[in-house]
Amino acid sequence: MQPSLVLAFKPPISVIEESGDRVVIQVPRVKGNIPQYTFPIEPVSPGLLTALRVLAAEGATEEELSDRVLQMDGFPQLPAFYYYLQQFINLGMLCHTLLSEGLPLATRVPIYPSQKFDWKEVAIDQKYRLSRFAYCHQYEGNFVLESPLSHAKIILADWQGAALIAALAQPQTCQELCHKIPGIAPETIQQFLSLLLSTEMLSEVQGDGKIGEETNKAMVSWEFHDLLFHARSRKGRHNNPSGKTFRFLDQLEQPPMVKPEVSEDIIKLYKPDLQKLQEEDYSFTWVLEERQSIRTYSDKPITDKQLGEFLYRSARNKRIVDKDYGQCTHRPYANSGGRYELEIYVIVNTCEHLAAGIYHYCPQEHHLGRLTERNSLVDALLEEAYFATNQFSMPQVLLVFAARFQRLAWVYESAAYSLILKDVGSLQQTMYLVSTAMNLAPCAVGCGNSDLFAAAVGTDYYAETSVGEFILGSRLGN
Ligand SMILES: Cc1cc2nc3c(=O)[nH]c(=O)nc-3n(C[C@H](O)[C@H](O)[C@H](O)COP(=O)(O)O)c2cc1C
């Protein structure tokens, strides 16, 4: 049975009455790459026009709307009304609101167009449980239930909806919920559960006490944060603005291309002769074939000269380019939009002519700025990398990549953080190839401690902290 949900256009969809018998339903442009959508209806009958006006205003149930069409246009116009209604639902243009005692309890808002809304009725004596991917948060003043499994979100109007959601963390039948959360009619609770079930927030509890997502082999491996990040940073399951939207253009100053010097204690680095390297270097194929992760080192530490050459060949600024939205650069590794948000911090354990401690690499000047000498935080960072690389040898040098997040978020929306992680991969691969060509021992590190890094370097965790690591040392036999 289809419930008596109130249907209304999703704001800010509007109905433009262009002439007596032509209307255009206008779906405004979402900033980014989802185009403006217009839906013309011509000829529009008086009853259909009234129904459209109601959908654009306070909304009404499907029954109320069809009654109006029937009264004003007569029976022959009803199929046209149902045809358009189904089109609006399929295009994600309609919100469905469930009322309790005449007041909104929950509103289903589609977040991605072209999705059908198949109503699934819950069984009165069947147990249901909330998906582990469903989550509530405050958004634009509303308490919203969302899930990366769903193409819609649910706005919870008040405490009753929130209380029902909280109870559904455990398996519940409609009857059990009626006892737990008094004051809501049993049929409303049934409709509320049906709304959640039809929006992939809820599942039927099976005989073994599990819900579908717990027995589906493809889904069990997904962690909550990973699936949410995947679904929201890629296109297709949301209609949030995505890509280069420059959302902070008039609000925030973008961080500069080169991070201002962090220290007055500057150490100039060796620059290799690129011309000579081009003549004498290993072949590209040799480097590719020889590249491997090496986690043990010779007793002789890496030298400051090797470190200088390595950083020059992997990460220096080659040239600056002025784009219409600010300065970008070119470096040996590719990077999202030429924004180069990654800062390299060199954590030295042992390096010839370079004291242990933390240094910041300036890619523009190709020098190091000394930040701190060896201390307990430096040791903790080195130990983290040592344990992450199976405790073969203490790293001679640990390179920590810290992202100046706003440098990318200033340009990109929805995908900024995922792009940062891809940039880490690009830098790591370049470093692997350069260190192989230099007979050094390289190894990427997968998991670092961003809080520890921010404390060691003194950055604001939300403005700049570590997103990737790489260890380097002198190769055995050298
Ligand atoms: C993103 C990434 C993270 C990695 N994290 C680690 C790590 O934390 N510890 C480690 O010992 N090796 C790590 N590695 C190195 C891989 O284990 C290594 O590349 C893989 O086993 C293939 O071996 P190869 O590099 O010698 O060809 C990482 C590699 C990549 C690309």
30 has a pLDDT exceeding 70? no
Per-residue pLDDT band for 34 (boundaries 50, 70, 90) equals low
In the chain, where are the structural domains located?
6-233, 243-474
CA gap 367, 152 in Å, rounded: 51
The mean pLDDT of the chain is 94
- Lateral strand order in the sheet of 266-268: 266-268, 367-373, 357-362, 342-348, 397-404, 464-474, 440-445
Q: For residue 252, what are the CA distances in angstroms to 212, 294, 406, 465?
A: 45, 43, 9, 20
Mean of the pLDDT values across residues 352-358? 98
CA gap 447, 340 in Å, rounded: 21
Q: What is the pLDDT of residue 3?
A: 58
> Are 162 and 136 within 8 A, CB to CB?
yes
Angle, alpha carbons 445-451-454 (nearest 5°): 95
Mean of the pLDDT values across residues 83-92? 93
CA gap 431, 344 in Å, rounded: 12
173 has a pLDDT exceeding 90? yes
35 has a pLDDT exceeding 60? no
From ligand 1's centre to the CA of 416, what distance in Å? Answer: 24
Ligand 1 binding site (Cβ under 6 Å of any ligand atom): 292-293, 295, 388-390, 428, 443-446
From ligand 1's centre to the CA of 141, what distance in Å? Answer: 44
From ligand 1's centre to the CA of 303, what distance in Å? Answer: 24
Helix or strand holding residue 86 (H, E)? helix 78-90
**Ligand 1 pocket mutation, candidates 445, 466, 469, criterion most atoms within 8 A of CB:** 445
Atom of ligand 1 nearest to the CA of 432: 25
* Of 322 and 274, the one with more pLDDT: 274
- Minimal-distance CA residue to ligand 1 atom 27: 292
pLDDT digits (tens, 9 = 90+) for 210-267: 999 999 999 999 999 999 999 999 998 888 889 999 999 989 999 999 999 999 999 9
- Minimal-distance CA residue to ligand 1 atom 31: 444
395 has a pLDDT exceeding 50? yes
Atom of ligand 1 nearest to the CA of 295: 11
Write the CATH number of the domain with boundaries 6-233: 3.90.930.70
345 has a pLDDT exceeding 70? yes
Beta-strand (E) ranges in 111-186? Answer: 128-130, 135-139, 142-146, 152-156
DSSP state of 30: B
pLDDT digits (tens, 9 = 90+) for 273-313: 999 999 999 999 999 999 999 999 999 999 999 999 999 99
Q: What is the pLDDT of residue 33?
A: 47
68 has a pLDDT exceeding 50? yes
Q: At what angle do helices 376-388 and 450-457 cross, to 10 degrees?
A: 150
Tokens for 244, please give them: 């280069």
Q: What is the share, in percent, of the chain residues with pLDDT greater than 90?
A: 88
Q: What is the pLDDT of residue 114?
A: 65
CA gap 48, 84 in Å, rounded: 9
CA gap 421, 311 in Å, rounded: 20
Per-residue pLDDT band for 72 (boundaries 50, 70, 90) equals very high
Atom of ligand 1 nearest to the CA of 292: 26
CA gap 199, 154 in Å, rounded: 8
- Minimal-distance CA residue to ligand 1 atom 7: 445
From ligand 1's centre to the CA of 324, what distance in Å? Answer: 38
pLDDT digits (tens, 9 = 90+) for 419-476: 999 999 999 999 999 999 999 999 999 999 999 999 999 999 999 999 999 999 999 9
* Of 114 and 33, the one with more pLDDT: 114
Per-residue pLDDT band for 403 (boundaries 50, 70, 90) equals very high
366 has a pLDDT exceeding 50? yes
Nearest CA-CA partner of 468 in 407, 405, 425, 433: 425
Write the CATH number of the domain with boundaries 243-474: 3.40.109.10
> What single-letter amino acid sits at 141?
G
7 has a pLDDT exceeding 90? yes
Q: What is the pLDDT of residue 31?
A: 57
From ligand 1's centre to the CA of 93, what distance in Å? Answer: 46
From ligand 1's centre to the CA of 272, what distance in Å? Answer: 28
Atom of ligand 1 nearest to the CA of 294: 26
For 150, phi then psi, to 5°, come to -110, 150
CA gap 167, 374 in Å, rounded: 52
From ligand 1's centre to the CA of 259, what distance in Å? Answer: 29
> Are 434 and 287 within 8 A, CB to CB?
no
Q: What is the pLDDT of residue 269?
A: 98
In the block, residue with structure tokens 């935080």:
377
Same-fold call for 6-233 versus 243-474? no
CA gap 299, 208 in Å, rounded: 58
Tokens for 41, please give them: 């209806």
Per-residue pLDDT band for 363 (boundaries 50, 70, 90) equals very high
* Of 340 and 323, the one with more pLDDT: 340
CA gap 82, 65 in Å, rounded: 10
**Ligand 1 pocket mutation, candidates 295, 443, 472, criterion most atoms within 8 A of CB:** 443
Q: What is the pLDDT of residue 107?
A: 98
From ligand 1's centre to the CA of 438, what distance in Å? Answer: 19
> What single-letter amino acid sits at 45?
S
Tokens for 73, please give them: 């246009």
For 380, phi then psi, to 5°, come to -65, -40
168 has a pLDDT exceeding 50? yes
Atom of ligand 1 nearest to the CA of 429: 31
Per-residue pLDDT band for 1 (boundaries 50, 70, 90) equals very low
CA gap 348, 301 in Å, rounded: 11
Helix, coil or strand: residue 394: coil
Angle, alpha carbons 194-198-204 (nearest 5°): 70
